[in-house]
A and B are shown apart, each in its own frame.
Chain A
Amino acid sequence: MDYDDSADEASFRRDLRTWLAANDPGPAPPISDSAAEHEYKKRWQQQLYAGGWLGLSWPEEYGGRGLNPFYEAILNEELGAAGVAHAAPPVGWLGRAILAYGSEEQRRRHLPGLLSGETSWCQGFSEPGAGSDLASLRTFAERSGDGYSITGQKLWTSGAQFADWCLLLARTARDGPKHQGISAFTVRMSTPGITVRPFKQAWGGTRFCEVFLDGAEVPVTDRVGEEGDGWPLATVVLAYERGPSELGVIATYRAELRELVGRSAGDAVAEDALARAYVAVEACRLHLLESLTRRVKGEAPGPGTSVDKLLMIRAEQALGTLELDAAATAGITGEPWATPSRYLWSRAASVYGGSEQIQRNIVAQRVLGLPRR
């Protein structure tokens, strides 16, 4: 049991702090301005990449540094401690899928640009009729000659309006078990037949989009893995999305706690709620470190990542509520300095990446071993 940095980790952390002190990305735009947010994150990703801080645990031949995942955790912690966000966490999840299922050619073609921020990506999984029941997705990829013709509709596709590429799931078999007929594709967003329509969220931004595909032609060389590999690939992406790569959120939570401490001083009820949120964040942080250790020791992310996700939801929503309460009346009237957008975004935490209820199903059936019906 050792929560301390090794000598190498400590030296990495020192270098990173020095670099961060000299490379401030400036204040983040509000989450209600999605275009500004995208530009800001893209620029920051390119800056981090130029500094050599991205792809730490990716193999060196694809632009990474070949370090163990603890270094990703240190990066996340320090970014949060410096009060800046991680560039674009989905880079990690999508990269994992391409690393695990992509061909050598696909890895070389996509991973460096994904990492450097030269290309922007989105994740085309959910559909209007396939949310929690993702495997019931209906977008279809019809094989024709050297390619596929893809028709269907995607929903909740974050950042689709800014993306150059999409990692897309589509059905390639009309019959058979629904989990088996799904395949994954890298799709150029400029492909004829693709229409993107951003829509407005409760907190005012337009991060989410609908994506319509009407006979979009995709070459067979852009299929990731074999036909039918889509479901296990999606499982990899979602497990990483729910798991300890999210340690960066902890640093963000801590920064928020620090800010809230200043606003609640002297209010005993708020202070106790703050202490409760602190405790929830700590439980989540410490558990993520255990999960990360298992990852470093070679264990693939499994159903246990749902426990991390559920602990994150508790912490995130406790903080969101605190921010709403701290803003008091101003939060309701929407004073510009206290819009409850952070609180509203926290309500999405129990939906994105697989809803809280789906996570509980996973824990009950695959961790506790309770019987399925």
Chain B
Amino acid sequence: MDVQFSEEELLLHESILGQAEKLGPTSVAGYDDFDDRVLWERLAAAGALGLGLPEELGGAGTLSDASIAAAALGRALAPVPYLGCAVLPAHLLAAAGAGPELVDAVVSGRRRLAVGIDPSTFEVASVSGPPALAWDSAGAEGALVRAADGSGRLVAVGLAPPTPGVDLTRHIRWCEPHRLVDAGDVGGVVGADAWRRWEAVALSLTAADMVGVMEGALQLAVEHASTREQFGVAIGSFQAIQHLLAEQHVSLEGARSTAIYAAWALAHRELDAAVLAAHTAKAYCSDVGKRLCEAVVQVHGGMGVTWECRAHVFLKRMLIDRAFLGDERRHLRRIADLRLTEVGRGL
């Protein structure tokens, strides 16, 4: 046992966080029409877009590395579609056995494809199903969805312009299922286990983004509470504020532990255990993450609900992460279903 980040992992986090802070918006107004290309290219050049994929597909590193990168980008509120247009489509294409050229084009940042999700079932949408949403799809030329024939093959469909969207840092777009996009060799049938595994990857890495958002938001609140004075003292010296923030820190620590383990389990545990760990992380982070961001708004007082303060930007990114692939209610239910089948087998 050695449950601690290595030097390399810490450096990766520092490097991605540094790039995102340097090249991202410096104010809330900066998110309007932000041009993400420079940051996107830097991430691609650093190999961040293909983390956790095999080398022959242009990938490098581990899913734990991808989780670390996602957390760094969440913390920086980076307006780049890291999960939506790189890691998640690339892992889906890999699961389908797509052509290496297409996967390489995605992980090298040359082509952006998103993944279409059915917002009622939270599964990858079907061309013939209800309207689908592509989360985190800024700049994508299309979205991967299931083919109409029910075979489990992928096709790419067009995307409408971004919705007004609550998240200032990422785009949400409706899929246009009647407009097929030629994405190249998207591979063959994605098997049942491969779908489950992809979902576990998506849940685990979204949980990592949420951990990053929590870190950034809590840091903002601690800084504010340490400097804002009322009654002649910093408000962070009041026990009411201290206990509120201490509880959020405990939530963050628990959340980080579940997210780190979920990413690790994908490579080191049986699929069933990895799926359970992914649901656990998504349920826990969705539950505590929303409350943490709300507390951060609260600690900022009236400032917390102004457009200029980043508190609402953290809260909104958290709300979208929480909704993506279902909030804690869905995942607690899945855990209950999974665990009840395990009675007698032990945990």
Chain A contact residues, CB within 8 Å of chain B? 1-6, 9, 70, 73, 81, 254, 257-258, 261-262, 265, 271-272, 274-276, 278-280, 282-284, 286-287, 289-290, 292-294, 296-297, 307, 310-311, 314, 357, 359-361, 363-365, 367-373
Nearest CB on B from A239, distance (A): 16
With a cutoff of 8 Å between Cβ atoms, the chain B residues found around residue A287 in the complex are 253-254, 257
Kindly state whether residue B319 has any CB partner on chain A within 8 Å.
no
Asked whether A286 lies within 8 Å of B260 as measured between CB atoms, the reply is yes
Asked whether B249 lies within 8 Å of A307 as measured between CB atoms, the reply is yes
Interface SS of chain A: helix, strand, loop or mixed?
A: helix
Asked whether A364 lies within 8 Å of B254 as measured between CB atoms, the reply is no
Q: Could you list 18 further interchain pairs (A-B, Cβ under 8 angstroms) beyond the known A283-B254, A371-B226?
A: A1-B4, A2-B2, A258-B343, A272-B329, A275-B332, A275-B333, A276-B332, A282-B261, A282-B280, A282-B284, A283-B258, A287-B253, A363-B246, A368-B242, A370-B222, A370-B236, A370-B245, A371-B236
Kindly state whether residue B347 has any CB partner on chain A within 8 Å.
yes
With a cutoff of 8 Å between Cβ atoms, the chain B residues found around residue A365 in the complex are 242
Asked whether B283 lies within 8 Å of A279 as measured between CB atoms, the reply is yes
Select the residue from A1, A5, A258, A282 with max chain B CB neighbours within 10 A.
A1
Nearest CB on B from A246, distance (A): 15
Kindly state whether residue B243 has any CB partner on chain A within 8 Å.
yes
Asked whether B255 lies within 8 Å of A289 as measured between CB atoms, the reply is no
Asked whether A272 lies within 8 Å of B332 as measured between CB atoms, the reply is yes
Query: Measured between alpha carbons, how far is A190 from B253 in the docked complex, in Å?
Result: 45
Query: Measured between alpha carbons, how far is A286 from B346 in the docked complex, in Å?
Result: 18
A293 in contact with B347 given A287-B254, A370-B226 (CB within 8 Å) = no
Nearest CB on A from B237, distance (A): 4
The 5 closest A-B pairs by CB, nearest first: A364-B242, A283-B254, A286-B257, A363-B246, A271-B336
Asked whether B237 lies within 8 Å of A372 as measured between CB atoms, the reply is yes
Asked whether B255 lies within 8 Å of A283 as measured between CB atoms, the reply is yes
With a cutoff of 8 Å between Cβ atoms, the chain A residues found around residue B335 in the complex are 275, 278-279
Contact with A along B230-265 (1 / 0, CB 8 A): 000110111101110111011001110110110011
With a cutoff of 8 Å between Cβ atoms, the chain A residues found around residue B254 in the complex are 280, 283-284, 286-287, 311, 314
Kindly state whether residue B3 has any CB partner on chain A within 8 Å.
yes
Kindly state whether residue B34 has any CB partner on chain A within 8 Å.
no
Asked whether B243 lies within 8 Å of A1 as measured between CB atoms, the reply is no
Interface SS of chain B: helix, strand, loop or mixed?
A: helix
Q: What are 14 A-to-B residue pairs whose CB atoms are below 8 Å?
A: A1-B3, A1-B5, A70-B1, A257-B347, A265-B340, A271-B336, A282-B258, A283-B257, A287-B253, A287-B257, A290-B4, A360-B247, A370-B222, A370-B242
Chain B contact residues, CB within 8 Å of chain A? 1-6, 9, 64, 222, 225-226, 233-234, 236-239, 241-243, 245-247, 249-250, 253-255, 257-258, 260-261, 264-265, 268, 277, 280, 283-284, 287, 329, 332-333, 335-336, 339-340, 342-343, 346-347
Nearest CB on B from A60, distance (A): 22
Asked whether B243 lies within 8 Å of A357 as measured between CB atoms, the reply is yes
Query: Measured between alpha carbons, how far is A77 from B344 in the docked complex, in Å?
Result: 18
With a cutoff of 8 Å between Cβ atoms, the chain B residues found around residue A278 in the complex are 280, 335, 339
Asked whether B336 lies within 8 Å of A274 as measured between CB atoms, the reply is yes
With a cutoff of 8 Å between Cβ atoms, the chain A residues found around residue B225 in the complex are 370
